[in-house]
Amino acid sequence: MGKNSTKYVIFKTRWGVFGLLADYKGILRTVLPMSSFEIAKRYLLVGMFQETKQDLNLCPAMQKDIRAYYNGSYVDFKKAQFGLNGEKLTDFSKKVLNVCIKIPFGQTITYSQLAKQAGFPNAARAVGSVLAKNQLPLLVPCHRVIRGDGKIGNFSAAGGSKTKKKMLEFEKEIIGYRG
């Protein structure tokens, strides 16, 4: 992929149509399953001012892993073979997202716990703000972060809290099937 090239792929999963946007440095954005190709494309390419081309062969291993996840398989996205492009993130955001990536499949932590693990024990609200802007849902599993009172909390991806709850329940089912 060339230095000035941005590409995307939108593909079907069992839950709907998923999108990936990437440049030569890594994945820039993901869109959780939507009901149609057109809707996924609109969300995926929002704010893109440079030419962006569709590439059905973009990140083939990642596409395979994402499909496997939505088919009910345990997938560890920490071991992805394609990098994540975080060059536009602040140092604080990078630290928060790097801790978030490490949350084990099927488990949850609170915003406060995430803040402490990132080295900012009094920044639970700021952590929530970073996660609300997460451009890489699923790959950076912000759905695994819940409120301190045990409630699901908000989710900025399509479907909001219902999607977050569905993903958490789905992962717990998968873990149950693994033994």
Catalytic residue numbers, as ranges: 142
Are the CB atoms for 147 and 111 separated by under 8 Å?
yes
100: exposed, middle or buried (C-beta count within 10 Å: 0-12, 13-18, 19+)?
buried
User: Which 8-state DSSP code applies to residue 120?
Assistant: -
Q: Provide the sign of the torsion angle of the four alpha carbons 14, 32, 78, 114, taken in this order.
A: negative
